[in-house]
């Protein structure tokens, strides 16, 4: 055991290093035999930071077959207590576990933060040296202690005021790496006689921050700037859009003797159009399911009207008429006079279906049983918002669609009626307009009000559209104001953003933060109220902490390794998986991130948005490089950055799967909106000069 007393600014900190061995019988023992192989140095870096440099040389002599070694470090900081942030895993103000430790490749930025609310002190523990390699572990199914030749480590904390580090990695009970039971993986480096030195660099910091979110953003910014890893692949954003449009067009089909049409864009890219999407697990279902071949989705993971809009906009001569059939079918079959909306249509049964509450409904990854039949607010807002964009596009080409406008206005009226007196909206509603209980975790149902940010961008866009024609929007503006005020009083004040996605419970996730940011940006652009702008800043600070600032090592020989996949710029999904699974859906609001960066003079926002766009163009099949996919413009739905239930046959490090149709909306719409906004900003700058 090695101990070193250091200071972080004026705060005492005790650093302890222990070396442990694993024998062939899987017994773990502390040992002092290799203490001389450890070098530890601490240097002050400014008033509030201390840099730790740790070096460990593997023993030259080989151990017995099956033996391994592990290095453990704790940093006990005096009077450290408060609200914890582990990027993509812990944000909530509620009490977390007493001790938690996570694989480094599960963290979008490798740091742990403890924020003391009363005096604004933020204690940070960040790993500044990046891991570089990961070979396949020597592990049998069910084993929790095993050998793994990798430099991937783990970071964590205890509520007794200590930061934790292990190399190789260790995770605590409740880990989702191995199985549903939360078995904790513990890796040891094989003692095979290979001579190798491993170096690790950390920063321990103690700084004042005005808020929890500001403290998170400060650590994120440091990680962003100190790990200048390359981002993205060989394909440009422009080419990504071109190939995705080509692929999306291939998924168009008609049915019911031409009376209906849609995009059958759920498929396995390794098998091609018409196949079932490859499996992944959500909290409600594990797919694939045959439902994906005969159910049209109009919201969340299948934006039918958005696809119709994007193709009609890209090639009106070829697609206006065909897109019109898609849109008319939705209006005819999925909207009702009250303004409430279905977002799923079963072609086999020839009827719309509920998103929850119907035990006989098709088995999609977010369709589940509750006490009341209904639809999620998000899956109602998205198709109607897309319908508004379609209406405006068709009007530009001289086609007036009064029924479309009537549906848009009916839904807006439904939102105004459904809004609670405190300004909030619930996650889901029944056709009677009453909230449906889709989260019973809070007795006062406050958690269910996480739907509040979802309608606001739509209502703001509708306001602007109607006001150009001189129509009365006072009721809409009142509703918008009430909704924005509720966001400021609730999720912004608590600095906790949950419930953005439908296929998991009402947990903290990336999309909740980015939708809140987008909602308050829309409200600010409509009203110019500065408190909305500051609320958007708070949400953006947390949103960015879901985006990788470094390139986690790929598993050698896996798909991600063969295609040189890079995590920087990709986003974690939710606080169940953490950053161990990434996707491209931060793309939906990169335009808002750029706008916010310019308004607030936050250049990191603009740099991060650029990286999100460039990273999203990875693994898209193009002429001359198909990645093993069945056609041009195909891309995985998600990438496994570390194991997620690998013993339950869910996700292994290096896996890819997919794909669901919203991946087209994310790339085509997200990148197009981003580039249009950047061009407008550049034009504004030229005019100022």
- Spatial neighbors of 683 by CB under 8 A, at least 6 apart, are none
Strand 344-346's sheet: what is its strand order? 295-297, 344-346, 351-353
Q: Return d(Cα 552, Cα 197) in angstroms, integer.
A: 20
CATH assignment of 237-644+651-688, given 3.40.50.920, 2.40.50.140, 3.10.20.440, 1.50.10.20?
1.50.10.20
Mean pLDDT of the residues in the chain: 93
Give mean pLDDT in consecutive 10-residue pieces for the chain, a chain of 689 residues: 95 97 94 93 94 89 81 96 96 82 98 95 97 97 97 96 98 95 97 89 97 98 88 92 98 96 96 85 55 92 98 98 99 98 96 91 75 93 99 98 99 98 96 80 68 98 97 98 98 93 81 98 98 99 98 97 96 94 97 97 97 97 96 95 93 91 97 93 78
Domain boundaries, the chain: 2-226, 237-644+651-688
pLDDT of residue 286: 56
CB crowding 315-348: b at 16 or more within 10 Å, else e: eeeebbeebbbbbbbbbebbbeeebbbbbbbebe
The residues near 562 (Cβ < 8 Å, ≥ 6 apart) are none
DSSP letter at 251 equals: T
- Residue 294 CA to residue 281 CA, distance in Å, equals 20
Q: Where are the alpha helices (DSSP H) in 107-228?
A: 212-226
Cα 7–Cα 11–Cα 15 angle in degrees, nearest 5: 45
The pLDDT of residue 283: 45
CA distance 594 to 271: 37
Distance separating alpha carbons of residues 512 and 88, to the nearest angstrom? 12
C-alpha to C-alpha distances, 112 to 78, 91, 95, 122, 176, nearest whole angstrom: 16, 11, 16, 10, 19
* % of the chain surpassing 90 pLDDT: 84
Q: Which two tokens stand for residue 405?
A: 């406008």
Q: How far apart are CA 23 and CA 430, in angstroms?
A: 59
pLDDT confidence of residue 345:
97
The helix/strand/coil state of 100 is: strand
């Amino acid at each position: 055991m090695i101990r070193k007393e250091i200071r972080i600014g004026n705060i005492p900190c005790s650093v302890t290093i222990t070396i442990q061995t694993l024998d062939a019988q899987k017994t773990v023992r502390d040992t002092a035999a290799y203490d001389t192989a450890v070098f530890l140095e601490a240097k002050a870096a400014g008033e509030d930071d201390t840099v730790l440099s740790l070096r460990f040389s593997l023993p030259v002599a080989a151990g017995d077959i099956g033996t391994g070694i592990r290095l453990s470090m704790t940093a006990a900081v005096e009077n450290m207590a408060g609200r914890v942030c582990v990027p993509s895993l812990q944000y909530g103000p509620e009490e977390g576990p007493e001790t938690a430790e996570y694989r480094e490749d599960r963290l979008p930025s490798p740091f742990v933060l403890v924020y003391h609310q009363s005096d604004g002190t933020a204690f940070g523990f960040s790993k500044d040296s990046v891991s570089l390699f990961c070979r396949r572990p020597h592990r049998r199914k069910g084993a929790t202690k095993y050998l793994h030749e990798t430099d991937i480590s783990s970071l964590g904390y205890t509520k007794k005021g200590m930061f934790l580090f292990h190399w190789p990695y260790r995770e605590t009970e409740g880990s989702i790496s191995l199985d549903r039971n939360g078995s904790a993986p513990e890796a040891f480096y094989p003692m095979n006689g290979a001579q190798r030195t491993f170096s690790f660099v950390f920063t321990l910091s103690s700084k004042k921050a005005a808020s929890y979110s500001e403290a998170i953003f400060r650590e994120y910014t440091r990680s962003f700037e100190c790990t200048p890893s390359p981002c993205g692949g060989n394909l440009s954003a422009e080419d990504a859009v071109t190939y995705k449009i080509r692929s999306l067009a291939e998924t168009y089909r008609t049915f019911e003797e031409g009376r209906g049409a849609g995009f059958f864009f759920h498929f396995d890219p390794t098998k091609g159009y018409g196949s079932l999407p490859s499996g992944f697990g959500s909290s409600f279902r594990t797919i694939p399911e045959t439902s994906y071949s005969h159910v049209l989705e109009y919201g969340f993971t299948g934006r039918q009207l958005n696809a119709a809009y994007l193709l009609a906009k890209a090639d009106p001569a070829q697609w206006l008429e065909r897109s019109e059939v898609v849109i008319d079918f939705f209006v005819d079959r999925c909207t009702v006079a009250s303004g409430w909306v279905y977002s799923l249509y079963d072609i086999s049964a020839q009827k719309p279906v509920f998103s929850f509450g119907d035990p006989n409904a098709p088995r999609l990854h977010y369709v589940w049983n509750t006490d009341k039949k209904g639809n999620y607010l998000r899956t109602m807002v998205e198709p109607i918002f897309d319908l508004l964009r379609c209406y405006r596009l068709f009007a530009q080409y001289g086609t007036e669609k009064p029924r479309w406008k009537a549906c848009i206005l009916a839904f807006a009226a439904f939102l105004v009626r459904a809004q609670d007196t405190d300004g909030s909206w619930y996650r889901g509603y029944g056709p009677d307009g009453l909230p449906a209980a889709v989260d019973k975790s809070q007795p006062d149902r406050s958690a269910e009000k996480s739907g509040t940010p979802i309608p606001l961008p739509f209502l703001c866009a509708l306001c602007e559209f109607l006001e150009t024609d001189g129509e009365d929007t006072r009721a809409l503006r009142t509703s918008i104001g009430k909704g924005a005020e509720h966001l400021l009083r609730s999720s912004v004040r608590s600095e906790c953003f949950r419930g953005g996605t439908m296929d998991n419970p009402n947990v903290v996730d990336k999309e909740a933060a980015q939708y809140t940011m987008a909602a308050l940006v829309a409200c600010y652009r409509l009203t110019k109220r500065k408190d909305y702008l500051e609320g958007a800043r708070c949400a953006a600070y947390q949103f960015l902490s879901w985006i990788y600032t470094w390139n986690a090592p790929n598993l050698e020989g896996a798909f991600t390794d063969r295609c040189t996949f890079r995590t920087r710029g990709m986003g974690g999904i939710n606080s169940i998986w953490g950053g161990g699974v990434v996707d491209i859906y931060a793309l939906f609001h990169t335009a808002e991130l750029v706008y916010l960066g310019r308004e607030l003079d936050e250049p990191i926002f603009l740099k991060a948005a650029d990286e999100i766009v460039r990273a999203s163009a990875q693994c898209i099949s193009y002429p001359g490089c198909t990645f093993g996919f069945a056609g041009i413009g195909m891309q995985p739905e998600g990438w496994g950055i570390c194991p997620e239930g690998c013993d339950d046959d869910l996700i292994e490090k290096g896996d890819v799967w997919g794909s669901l149709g919203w991946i087209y909306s994310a790339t085509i719409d997200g990148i197009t909106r981003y580039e249009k906004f950047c061009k407008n900003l550049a034009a504004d700058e030229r005019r100022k000069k």
